[in-house]
Amino acid sequence: MASSPLPAKESSGTQPKEGHIKAFKDLPEFLQLLERENQLIRVTEAVDLEPDLGAAGRAVSQFDETAPALLFDSVKGYASAHVALNVHGSWANQALMLGMDKTSTAREIFLEFVKRYEKFPGEMVRSTKAPWQEVMIEKDINLLEHLPLFRINRGDGGFFIEKGCIISRDPADWNNDNVENVGIYRMQLKGKNRLGIQVVPEHDIAIQLCHAEECGQDLPLAIAIGNEPIITIVGGMPILYDQLEYKMAAALQGQPYQVVATEKGLDVPWGSQYVLEGRVLAGKREGEGPLGEFTGSYSGGRNYPVVEIDRISHVRDPIFEACYLGMPWTELDYLLAINTSAPLYAQVKSEIPEVVAVNAIYNHGFVVIVSTRRRFGGFAKAVGMRILSTPHGLGYAKTVIVVNENVDPYDLKQVMWALATKVNPIGDVFIIPNLSVNPLDQSAQPEEISSKMIIDATTPVPPDRRGNFSIECDSPQRTELWREKLKTMRKEPSK
């Protein structure tokens, strides 16, 4: 019988209320909530690392938007190993993460997320001890003996850590907490204590590695794996360079965020399951990949930086958290959805208050849909260009669709209506050549350089008097009344 790091399943639990803010101290506590909400499947049978874990991750991503997390309690070859998959892989799980009802829609989660984002900065608090310090390995490190790493897709070049929070500081501003970085960057196992790390120029860690390498120094880092769910969401968020992720996590969870500093001074979540400490080797690049990526295609191989691990720490009986990624939609699409949309919204809204909502949930925001009011003709096109100049826009947004304020960017039927009826391509579609893009964009030419497109699907306003637009239809009086009445009649057919 497989052991489990979670307590026995409880028959009932506290029902989270919408808007109620609940901070989770660690991953097991969140998994317990998911289990109470029927959002976790425990697998106790012994599974093969390959192909079972990748296959199960793929299978659960093919569920609907209420997909559960998975917890494997017995992995062949390990005396005691636990693997959690798909923890963030549905709107239901993300709603529960925020203390909302699990039936919440993507738009409702976006609005709640934005509300909490506006409370930035929260507070980071340091403790001196953490449960992850209980077990420490510093000699003869062999990562694979301690972490159940596995191949996700058959063409992957190896075993990856794809859901670790990587913590680093800026060597040019070492004591400035606000530029400490928490980011999620894929890492490939390439030796007993050796990893490749994907550092692309648009990522914050690239700035820090550049500063270290200019001085010929290694860049210290810590890798925190198996965390409460908020910091993982924040690690994947394109916030500004001087916005500390822990202060964002504190704002989102409504409580100070608790960390513990490593000997090098890197702040690590108190509740992490595993913490790996090491260095990015200065001036070193080495073959890495491919990995089946969020684009739905294999990434190809590149020479990426290399990390050596000097210490492994973990809680007793840790849970390794991993993420299936491949042909969308997968957990990664949910993981990089609302947390991409909300900062884009906030960054643009701070300068253009007419912006109403942003949807950047498709392929990590390669496509962005933004709704806005227009003060004058040409305004919507400027909103589109502002999206392209945000931190996320620099590396990801390729196509921006701008729609009227009354079109919901999260309702693709409405967006398609706007595209179908508002766009006259000669005046509303424009292409800007040779902008920056993430190297994983396979349509780029050359790599990392792409044109970008803005589609103005708003109704022109003066002095832009193009077109023959007439008054839009609205709903007859009593429509709301009838909607509720008909819903009730459908639930309770006449007796």
| Min CB(364)–other proteins separation in Å | 17
Of positions 41, 158, 382, 414, contacts other proteins by CB under 8 A:
158
Burial class (CB in 10 A: 0-12, 13-18, 19+), 319: buried
Residues numbered 161-200 forming contacts with other proteins, rule: CB under 8 A: 188-192, 196, 198-200
Of positions 13, 19, 77, 427, contacts other proteins by CB under 8 A:
77
Of positions 21, 135, 137, 144, contacts other proteins by CB under 8 A:
144
Nearest to other proteins of 106, 291 (CB atom): 291
| Min CB(73)–other proteins separation in Å | 15
| Min CB(423)–other proteins separation in Å | 36
216 sits near other proteins (criterion: CB under 8 A) = yes
Q: Are 98 and 112 in contact (CB under 8 A)?
A: yes
Tokens representing 105? 């829609």
Burial class (CB in 10 A: 0-12, 13-18, 19+), 177: middle
Of positions 17, 25, 126, 154, contacts other proteins by CB under 8 A:
154
CA nearest to 459, candidates 390, 373, 384? 373
Q: Are 136 and 126 in contact (CB under 8 A)?
A: no
Of positions 8, 215, 471, 473, contacts other proteins by CB under 8 A:
215
What residues contact 191, with CB distance under 8 A and at least 6 apart?
A: none
CA nearest to 37, candidates 13, 18, 21, 65? 13
44 sits near other proteins (criterion: CB under 8 A) = no
| Min CB(375)–other proteins separation in Å | 40
Q: Are 84 and 321 in contact (CB under 8 A)?
A: yes
51 sits near other proteins (criterion: CB under 8 A) = yes
Nearest to other proteins of 185, 345 (CB atom): 185
Of positions 209, 223, 239, 309, contacts other proteins by CB under 8 A:
209
Nearest to other proteins of 78, 362 (CB atom): 78
Measure the CA dihedral 163/344/397/440, to 10°. -20
Q: Are 126 and 99 in contact (CB under 8 A)?
A: no
Task: Count interface residues toward other proteins (CB under 8 A).
Answer: 50
Tokens representing 150? 């596995």
Catalytic-residue membership of 162: no
457 sits near other proteins (criterion: CB under 8 A) = no
- State how far the Cα of 85 lies from the Cα of 150, in Å rounded to an integer: 12
What track of x and - describes contact with other proteins for positions 369 through 408 (by CB under 8 A)?
----------------------------------------
Nearest to other proteins of 28, 196 (CB atom): 196
Nearest to other proteins of 143, 338 (CB atom): 143
Of positions 68, 89, 122, 157, contacts other proteins by CB under 8 A:
157
| Min CB(172)–other proteins separation in Å | 10
Q: 35, 162, 228, 293: which one is catalytic?
A: 293
Of positions 42, 78, 328, 467, contacts other proteins by CB under 8 A:
78
138 sits near other proteins (criterion: CB under 8 A) = no
How many beta carbons lie within 10 A of that of residue 294, not counting itself?
A: 24
What track of x and - describes contact with other proteins for positions 269 through 308 (by CB under 8 A)?
--------------x-xxxx-x-------x--xxxxx---
139 sits near other proteins (criterion: CB under 8 A) = no
Nearest to other proteins of 159, 345 (CB atom): 159
Of positions 177, 308, 354, 447, contacts other proteins by CB under 8 A:
447
Of positions 9, 15, 18, 48, contacts other proteins by CB under 8 A:
48
Of positions 37, 112, 213, 456, contacts other proteins by CB under 8 A:
213
Query: Which residues are tagged catalytic?
Result: 293
Per CB under 8 A, residues contacting other proteins are 48-51, 76-79, 140, 142, 144-145, 151, 154-155, 157-159, 188-192, 196, 198-201, 206, 209-210, 213-216, 283, 285-288, 290, 298, 301-305, 439, 447-448
